[in-house]
Chain A
């Protein structure tokens, strides 16, 4: 590939030998990219804008007025209604499931990543290969046996039923990303830990953990988002309303109040709010983590 580029660039002067110095100015606007960027912004923002303003309208108001104009007398009744229909329960369920899956998932993935980086044995290579293969397994395809396992463990319709498979499905990507980061830790540091007589277990927590903390945070956020937004596992592994997580609650809420568009949209906003707050706080962590995992 590198050669292809070199020849390409090398050929350019033969194609156009005369035009040389004039275009050295940098920062010429990228019209096509800019156009795509702004167009995309409109496509992203119009629905979001509509969702937010509509959620503050009364139902009567909603039918009567231009849907793209914000209400002159905004109401929070829709939000009150959503909160009164057990929103707190669903919210707590989502928090329990997300935190309960992500902390163990990231910790055991971190340990596994450390083991993969620090050992050169063939066994660890095949373990790594197994995790990499896991990246290609569609979660949906394994859901029937997972359902069977959960029933046999007598965990059906519990939050633990969602947590256990969520941990497993978070492992492959976490191991991949964390192993990449642990590889970046200078070998000399590992060596000096060893000279000081530290065991691998101590090295793991005293050296690798602090140095890869940013990666740990990003992996946690990334997987946390996936679990928080997860729909299939709660749909299949729980049934009683008291075990619903937010995405599932959203779906049933639309089933019940489908005609009341403002209320449905208020529920959408409300379930997204915690993530948006998190995004505002840790945007850099989140976005850099995503690229670290894939373009590296």
Chain B
């Protein structure tokens, strides 16, 4: 009865008076987001058909920039490096984050103290992390050189494969805390009764992990992976400070390729074309991961209940 009344009054007001009276509250945010989010997104597409050096006048240039970018062997290379970083950092981060998240969600001793320390990398700026690691890895003045351990005093940032490995390590160092935090929260939401039932049935820890924890984390894995994968497109700060894309082009990811083309070579047209490719890749990945998830945030919310 009450529910029916409430329902009726709700639809009554929300249809008529309410919608009109709250809509304007969304306008400031909408204006800001359109001005500095949507307009730039469309603008970058527009600029990709122009010629601009970043200072002077902007001239329409048709498909010149696109032709230039698509013919340049730098593009497939940048795409390759971007996907390599994406896949490798996902492969490192996901299992580690799940393990640590499960561990942090358990009631093990010292967990509280550990948790305080775990999340410190999350607080540091990418610039600070990259600056510190650059000093730490320096073959002449770094930690390895000081300890005089040969393995540690390699030219970490001077060789293609090592530099790529270092980037993946540092990115994982920076972001695993964040993702373990997400997993920790998700593991805590799994009903205890499931584990109790499994224990009565005699399932061991590992069996419980594979049969309960992991399936229950499905949507969290999708969310976390989406953030990881889309986020990996924007590993600009770390790479810029650490290697500036080098040695050679070994760590020149798409975002860096765009920056260098636009702000160092002053070719804003081609840089905009690269940015459009970056957006397309990001959207495509977000959509693919959503499909894999088979629904998305709304469903996962119901799942927890």
Contacts and interface: CB of A to CB of B under 8 A. Distances in A.
Given A229-B124, A279-B123, A295-B223, 7 more contacts: A21-B200, A26-B199, A108-B28, A114-B25, A140-B233, A168-B35, A295-B189
Given A9-B197, A45-B117, A47-B132, A246 B181 contact: no
Interface in A100-152: 105, 108-109, 111-112, 114-116, 118-121, 123-124, 127, 130-131, 134, 136-149
Contacts of A206: none
Given A12-B207, A254-B131, A144 B278 contact: no
A229 B283 contact: no
Contacts of B26: 111-112, 115-116, 124, 127
A294 B189 CA distance: 13
Contacts of B44: 141-142, 144-145
A-B pairs, top 4 by smallest CB distance, nearest first, are A145-B43, A33-B103, A229-B125, A168-B36
Interface of B: 6, 9-11, 13-15, 18-19, 21-26, 28-30, 32-33, 35-41, 43-44, 46-47, 54, 96, 99-100, 102-104, 106-108, 111, 114-121, 123-128, 131-136, 138, 141-143, 146-147, 173, 176-178, 181-182, 184-186, 189, 194, 197-205, 207, 211-212, 215-216, 218-220, 223-224, 227, 230, 233-234, 236-237, 240-241, 255, 258-259, 262-263, 268, 271-272, 275-276, 278-279, 282-283, 286, 301, 303
A246 B237 CA distance: 13
A172 B282 contact: no
A2 B169 CA distance: 36
Looking at B26, B103, B263, B278, which has the most chain A CB atoms within 10 Å of its CB?
B26
Interface string A1-31: 1101100110011001011111110111110
A260 to B, nearest CB: 9
A44 B118 contact: yes
A44 B127 contact: no
B275 A231 contact: no
B22 A200 contact: yes
A119 to B, nearest CB: 4
Nearest to B32: A168
A199 interface: yes
Interface string A238-250: 0000000011101
Interface residues of A, number: 124
A228 interface: yes
Interface of A: 1-2, 4-5, 8-9, 12-13, 16, 18-24, 26-30, 32-34, 36-38, 40-41, 43-45, 47-48, 50-51, 62-63, 65-68, 105, 108-109, 111-112, 114-116, 118-121, 123-124, 127, 130-131, 134, 136-149, 164-165, 167-169, 171-172, 175, 187-188, 191, 194, 199-201, 204, 225, 228-232, 235-236, 246-248, 250-251, 253-254, 258-259, 261, 264-265, 267-268, 271-272, 275-276, 279, 283, 287, 290-291, 294-296
